[in-house]
Structure 1
Amino acid sequence: MTTIAKPFDSGSAYDTVVIGGGVMGCSTALHLARAGMKVALVERGSLCREASGVNAGTLTLHMTRAALIPYAMRAWQMWMDAEKWLGMSVLATQAPGLTLAFTKDECELLTLRAQARREKGAPIEIISSERARQIEPGLHPSLLMAGYCEIDGYASAYLTGRAMTHALRSADVKIFENRQVQSIDSGDSGHVVHFAETKEPLRARRIVLAGGVWIENMLAMLGVHIPIKVLINQLIITERIRPVMRSVLSVANGLLSLKQFANGTVLIGGGWQGDGNRDQGGIEARPQNLVGNMRLAAYAIPALAEARVARIWLGLEAETADAMPIIGDVPGVSNAYVVGSAHSGYTSGPFMGRIMAQHILDQTPDLPIFNPARLLGMQMPVA
């Protein structure tokens, strides 16, 4: 698939324009700028306020796909070192990580998943229920076994945008917030990005699409069709309660993520779905899913029965047809790149941006990228 080269010769105001100001887009722009490129970053809202700013902020290997463990481990260290490379804290906190198994089937699933992740380098071990309760005394007594990982923790998704903005400005990246991209003209001499508002277009030699769930729409502007699935994840935050847990928890069936912050609030997630779509975003929570998520949380940690819900919200997550990231050259379009759609994308985001920048800079990425061309002609599996 190719695009028709348009004979404009506008010159390139920027070496690279990155479209999409989430963690991956910001990290890509930052690493390119620090390598000497003149970079512009475009975001339709505020930086890191879409999926990157409303997710659970969990930095866990338990819920990361096995093939992405090496990426997540490098990104985990980047989050822990955020003050060094961003110049500002995101309150990254290391905490023990436990995945819980309450049934025989969950024990089998936990054992298989832990083994697959260990083979990719994750320091996950299977421990007895007794040892798990030594780490987390508040666990339900019916626990049979658990997976334990010391490389776990969380960061403040809310503070991510502030830290990224600080770093990008320090690197002289030109930030354009509240700019909705309407179309992109691509030709041999570069790219021109047009906006829905009456704004001057941006011109650049290279373009990077980092729009999360909107990558499908962005690629369509270049004449490329790659389907991207949209997940509408529900999240719950409680009022402050006494300390009832000190680890990051999940359940082997994948339906729970759970942690308590220093201020006493508890964040409950696990991918339970709400209603929404790519165009309208999150529309409405599903009450039955909220109840199911909270009941599972209160079963894992019985003391959570005393917690009251303070707020619920919806976050969008992108997924490709093979559930692996899309990082590399846009098929058939010169000097166009795409990065995104990584499972547990917040966890791996900083490192995904780094290897995208390394590829653009003709450096050998620290780990292999994920060629977008493999997804041409694929269809999303039927749920």
Structure 2
Amino acid sequence: MKVFDLAIIGGGLAGCSTALHARKKGASVILLERGRCGGQASGVNYGGVRQQGRHPAELPLARRSRGIWGNLYALVGCDCEFIATGHLKLARNDGDMVDLVAHQAIAADHGITIELFDRADLRRRFPYIGDRFYGASLCAEDGQANPRLAAPAFARAARQLGAQVQEECPVEHAVLSPFGFEIHVTGQDTPIRAHRLVNTAGAWGANVAGWFGDSVREEVMAPNMCVTEPIAPLIGPNLGICGGGIYIRQASGHGSIIFGSGVGTADRDALRARPLAAVTMDAAKAAIDMVPALANVLVVRSWTGIEGRMSDNLPVVGPSPTVPNLYHAFGFSGHGFQLGPAVGAVLAELAIDGGSPTCLAGLSMTRFAGVPDPAATSPPANKVQPKGKGNDTDEK
């Protein structure tokens, strides 16, 4: 009877990275993905690879992940179109500039260099930026990648090392067993058995956690994304704004502008999500306000996907607080793409080595301990509708 060292539920970037790093440690691994690897949030996001602007609790992961992004070809045989274009965060007022200065100091504590620009410096260095901004901060080593390529590349590399990656393989349920865990898959009479279990099930992560009594509330969101026709080189670094809102990058290969703002609709149970025309129009206006030269550029497509969101906009990453050998990573709240490679490396370390040098303080599920579950008094969380301006997702 086959018992794997490690089973993984969910084939997003974090799950595929976990499979790869666990195999590199010699563990026997099986990854179970309901659809295709990278088919949900990991493959339909903006593609930003940024450290700047993150909550301090995410910075150790972000820092480690940046090192992996920079060495991606050697790790997975593909650079996933990663390029360090930089990330420019724009200030709308003096208060935003104060926040940028404060974040510069926090980032420096983690070895991240951020350069500040006042209004005159911003206009001189980036003349295509709209003139209403007070200044900005630039993290030059941040950048962008193609989200369509990343999770599949990690899955391929894991397979090449001997991991079993099963796509189109819906998991119905998982339970504790004398071996560790039994995972019941649709259409398979015999459960999959593993000594350890990693839950990287994305917007369905809280459901998986609930099978083992780890109760936490996870909402869903559907970041509204757009892409334009190709244009001549215009925008250098990724562009974001203090407090969230519009975010813009220019693809390094074909020259299209990729931007996003606001949310579409998502139904977690039906596995459906769609962008909204009104939200796309508002995003286009915000993009023109940020970069006026985009006024006559044609939008050719909009899209969205299903993403999990925690109440504090921070992911759950780390061991189960109640079940030995169970590990969670979900609820990335619209900014998990950059973190994914490091999340997988850390989960593999936790599961196989029993610990990780990367700090996860502030990301444990235990931070919600003692907080009443709003599901008892709130509508079901499987459906979300846009709430208009202000309900913006951050860049990845």
Q: Please give the TM-score of this superposition, normalised by the length of structure 2.
A: 0.87
Q: 1:87–1:166: 8 Å Cα contact kept in structure 2?
A: no
User: How big is the shift at 1:121?
Assistant: 3.8
The whole-number CA distance in structure 1 between the counterparts of 2:236 and 2:137 is: 16
Q: 2:216–2:373: 8 Å Cα contact kept in structure 1?
A: no
Unpaired runs of 5+ residues, structure 1, are 1-10
User: How big is the shift at 1:113?
Assistant: 4.0
The whole-number CA distance in structure 2 between the counterparts of 1:281 and 1:118 is: 41
Instruction: Name the structure 1 match of 2:173.
Output: 183
Percent identical among aligned pairs is: 27
Instruction: Name the structure 2 match of 1:5.
Output: none
Q: Which amino acid aligns with 1:373?
A: T
Q: Which amino acid aligns with 2:125?
A: I
SS of the residue aligned with 1:306? coil
Q: Which moved more, 1:297-306 or 1:123-132?
A: 123-132
Instruction: Name the structure 2 match of 1:155.
Output: 145
User: How big is the shift at 1:379?
Assistant: 4.9
Question: What is the number of residues matched between the two proteins?
Answer: 372
The whole-number CA distance in structure 1 between the counterparts of 2:364 and 2:95 is: 36
SS of the residue aligned with 1:346? coil
- Distance 1:356-1:128 versus aligned 2 partners, 3 A rule: same
Q: Which amino acid aligns with 2:266?
A: G
After superposition, residues 250-265 of structure 1 pair within 5 angstroms as 250-262=240-252, 263-265=254-256
The whole-number CA distance in structure 1 between the counterparts of 2:15 and 2:274 is: 27
- Distance 1:185-1:380 versus aligned 2 partners, 3 A rule: closer
- Distance 1:342-1:284 versus aligned 2 partners, 3 A rule: closer
Q: 2:179–2:193: 8 Å Cα contact kept in structure 1?
A: no
User: How big is the shift at 1:179?
Assistant: 0.7
- Distance 1:380-1:61 versus aligned 2 partners, 3 A rule: farther
SS of the residue aligned with 2:49? coil
User: How big is the shift at 1:120?
Assistant: 4.2
Q: Match for 2:305 among 311, 315, 330?
A: 315
User: How big is the shift at 1:282?
Assistant: 4.6
Instruction: Name the structure 2 match of 1:34.
Output: 24
Q: Match for 1:368 among 353, 359, 364?
A: 359
The whole-number CA distance in structure 1 between the counterparts of 2:73 and 2:214 is: 38
The whole-number CA distance in structure 1 between the counterparts of 2:373 and 2:359 is: 24
SS of the residue aligned with 2:48? coil
Instruction: Name the structure 1 match of 2:371.
Output: 378
User: How big is the shift at 1:64?
Assistant: 2.1
Q: Which amino acid aligns with 1:123?
A: T
Q: 1:239–1:307: 8 Å Cα contact kept in structure 2?
A: yes
User: How big is the shift at 1:78?
Assistant: 0.8
SS of the residue aligned with 1:345? coil
User: How big is the shift at 1:241?
Assistant: 1.6
Q: 2:27–2:352: 8 Å Cα contact kept in structure 1?
A: no
After superposition, residues 200-215 of structure 1 pair within 5 angstroms as 200-215=190-205
- Distance 1:144-1:223 versus aligned 2 partners, 3 A rule: closer
| 1:144 counterpart = 2:134 | yes
User: How big is the shift at 1:59?
Assistant: 0.7
Instruction: Name the structure 1 match of 2:50.
Output: 60
Q: 2:19–2:155: 8 Å Cα contact kept in structure 1?
A: no
Q: Which moved more, 1:332-341 or 1:46-55?
A: 332-341
- Distance 1:230-1:117 versus aligned 2 partners, 3 A rule: farther
After superposition, residues 81-230 of structure 1 pair within 5 angstroms as 81-198=71-188, 200-230=190-220
After superposition, residues 2-41 of structure 1 pair within 5 angstroms as 11-41=1-31
Residues 49-93 of structure 1: per-residue CA shift (max 9 Å, x gap): 111111111011234223312221221121121101112221110
Instruction: Name the structure 2 match of 1:301.
Output: 291
Q: Which moved more, 1:216-225 or 1:51-60?
A: 216-225
User: How big is the shift at 1:316?
Assistant: 2.7
Residues 116-137 of structure 1: per-residue CA shift (max 9 Å, x gap): 4444443123212332234323
Residues 190-212 of structure 1: per-residue CA shift (max 9 Å, x gap): 21111223454211111111101
SS of the residue aligned with 1:276? strand
| 1:269 counterpart = 2:260 | yes
Q: Please give the TM-score of this superposition, normalised by the length of structure 1.
A: 0.90
Report the RMSD for the aligned CA atoms in angstroms: 2.2
Q: 1:229–1:380: 8 Å Cα contact kept in structure 2?
A: no
